[in-house]
Amino acid sequence: FPIDEVPELAIYYYSFLTLYEAEKDDHYFKLRGLLDRFGILMPQKEAIELYDSALHYCIGKLNKGNKIFLQEYFDLFEDGLNKRIFIVNEELATWRFNNAVGVALQLGKLEWAEIFIESYKKYLSADTQQNTYTFNLARVYRYQNNFDKVLSLLRDVEYEDIGYNLISKAILIITYYELDELDALDPFMESFRVFLNRHKNITNQRRRGYLNLIKYVKRLTRVTSGDKTSLEKLRQDILRDRQITVNHEWLLEKIAELE
């Protein structure tokens, strides 16, 4: 019998095929269509597993440079969110919350991200709620170029979570630069450099990414506007290291502004 006539089986069948024939995007789109129609009818635990399987497929494609799957990830997550599939015992996992904001920002959906943060804050676990809220709001303000608000949110916050801590410090570097607060920027970058070298629980690759950000921002602050030779050398160095430099896109934008 045609498996597509039995949605309960078809969903699992196409979910299986996305794993074992990952190169064939058709399987994902079949699964996506079935989740759109029948996801809300499934037991929540099973629905979460199937949505996560599809989201994982999107991440795999993104890691291979297929950018259309950024929108797919967003649409899939939003669909699951609207169906309350990801709200378990009135709680939304922190990592889901962070991922949703990150993908929305990459897509330029700044208003969506801000509304999402305000609307879903109440579903965050009580012990990390305030930190997750302020951290993500700061990310939105950074994308909105609302650097005064970033500063007021992050300047006096020290996160226990190492991921939040690193990203928020990188955002502060960008903020001090954008506000032309170079007197604050230099000592802040030095203290961040010490922090990176002191904390042994940061992986070497991650540490290098942030150290490269510091190195290139220092060089950026010392280049004269219009010095095409120095700016081109800096651009080539950043392009060479872009896989191991946090916020390399932003650095390249700043070079373009100085040319």
The pLDDT, as a whole number, for residue 1 is 38
What is the chain's pLDDT, residue by residue, as a tens digit (259 residues)? Answer: 355 666 677 887 778 878 777 778 888 888 888 898 888 888 999 999 999 999 998 998 888 888 889 999 999 999 999 999 999 999 999 999 999 999 999 999 999 999 999 999 999 999 989 999 999 999 999 999 999 999 999 877 777 889 999 999 999 999 999 999 999 999 999 999 999 999 989 999 999 999 999 999 999 999 988 888 999 999 999 999 999 999 999 999 999 999 8
Distance CA 157, CA 103 (A): 24
The pLDDT, as a whole number, for residue 10 is 81
Per-residue burial over 157-167, b if 16 or more Cβ lie within 10 Å, else e, is eebeeeebbbb
The pLDDT, as a whole number, for residue 157 is 73
The pLDDT, as a whole number, for residue 136 is 95
Q: Distances in Å between the alpha carbon of 123 and those of 61, 92, 115, 139, 157?
A: 29, 5, 14, 19, 22
Q: Give 179-201 as a 3 state SS string.
A: CCCHHHHHHHHHHHHHHHHHCCC
Distance CA 171, CA 16 (A): 40
What is the DSSP code string of 40-107?
A: GGS-HHHHHHHHHHHHHHHHHHHHTT-THHHHHHHHHHHHHHHTTSS-BTTB--HHHHHHHHHHHHHT
Q: Provide φ and ψ at 88, rounded to 5°.
A: -110, 120
For residue 91, list its beta bridge partners: 88
The pLDDT, as a whole number, for residue 227 is 87
- Burial (CB count within 10 angstroms: exposed 0-12, middle 13-18, buried 19+), residue 11: buried
Contact 29, 10 (CB under 8 A): no
pTM of the model: 0.85
Q: Provide φ and ψ at 168, rounded to 5°.
A: -65, -35
